[in-house]
Amino acid sequence: MKRILTVCLLLALVIPTMIPAHAAEVSAASAILIEASTGTPLYEKDADRRLPMASTTKIMTALVVLEHTAPDTQIEVPAEACGIEGSSIYLRPGERITAEDLLWAVLLESANDAAAALAVSVGGSIEGFAAMMNEKAEAFGLSDTHYTNPHGLDDEEHYTTARDLAKLAVAAMAHPAFRTMVAARHHTIEREDGTRVLLNHNRLLRLSEDVVGVKTGFTRKSGRCLVSAAERDGVALVCVTLNAPDDWNDHLGLYEEGFSRTHAVTLAEPGAFSHGIPCPNADDGAVTVSNPAGLTRVFFGEIPAIEAVIEAKRLLLEDVKAGDVLGRVVFRTANGDVGSVSLAAEECAAAPKKPSFFDRFIPDP
């Protein structure tokens, strides 16, 4: 049996809200803004329309490379990676360069030759690497995405949607190395012919202190494509625009609207909840349990009324070790549970040892 205790109540009214279509003049043919921790859309405009993605392709390119190649791997540049149209760091056939340096070039300078060199090294060929990209897309549940190359140059069978790109960006930003790279405004690499400074094409990093990534893209067919991520006061948002003539302002405007409608609430700091469970074997007659981990949740509109309810065992008769999970704190609103944290024992308590047959029936000498 468990004992249930309601320990606190926060009063407010929850009003989930989507940013109205007229709230920001969005130039994009397709767009979406989501809250990253839940994937909740805050704004969308034709977000499931399949469109070219240009160099936002390289988000997936980087993820596949990071999954299959050590950063310090030395890569010999194949001839087929050299002279590719579009952005480039002008690799030469036979040049040796690390996978990490190529990734920096891919994510900051959007270098098509670096993307191709990585693809051939990791996948054996452009086609083999594209198959790996599509396999990863399927694993992420990106049902409206298909890749034919690692750089994003135009191809009828190379497409995605704003919604799929937002999902991909959330997954990519969870990777520490990727996150570090796309947040950097510049980076220096050593080439055989000297030092090169790479500059991040993502102007949002300079226009807003909230922005922490992610990737730009452009071809004449795709128009301007942009995937970005921003964080403010514990809230993380991801924005995607495809074929957007005014993409910088699209993102900045949507972020202002989005952050005004979302709130990160710390429901529990580590150790904030403490509860004693009766235990005749404990020194003080009870075992203290508390929450080792904290919990933060994002709410949309106003913060709802939240109850924190302790669910724990009524009585402990068994052995207890420090760290044993003996209950939890559940956070509830009128619309249901919004999360929980475990309650773990802070100390040990050993149950009395049962006497053996000899202890019971053979008297002491």
> Catalytic residues, which ones?
55, 58, 110
First to last CA, the chain: 44
Torsion angle, alpha carbons of 350, 352, 353, 355, to 10: 180
User: What's the number of CA atoms in the CB half-sphere (13 Å) around residue 201?
Assistant: 21
Q: Classify residue 314 as left (phi > 0), alpha (psi -120 to 50) or beta.
A: alpha
Query: Please, are residues 28 and 242 in contact by the beta-carbon 8 Å criterion?
Result: yes
Which residues in 194-223 are b (16+ Cβ under 10 Å) and which e? eebebebbbebbeebebbbbbbbbbbeebb
- Given the structure tokens 């001839």, which residue do they identify? 79
- Alpha-carbon separation of residue 175 from 108, 140, 214 (angstroms): 16, 14, 12
Structure tokens at 82: 């050299």
- Secondary structure of the chain: what % helix, strand, coil (to 5)? 25, 35, 40
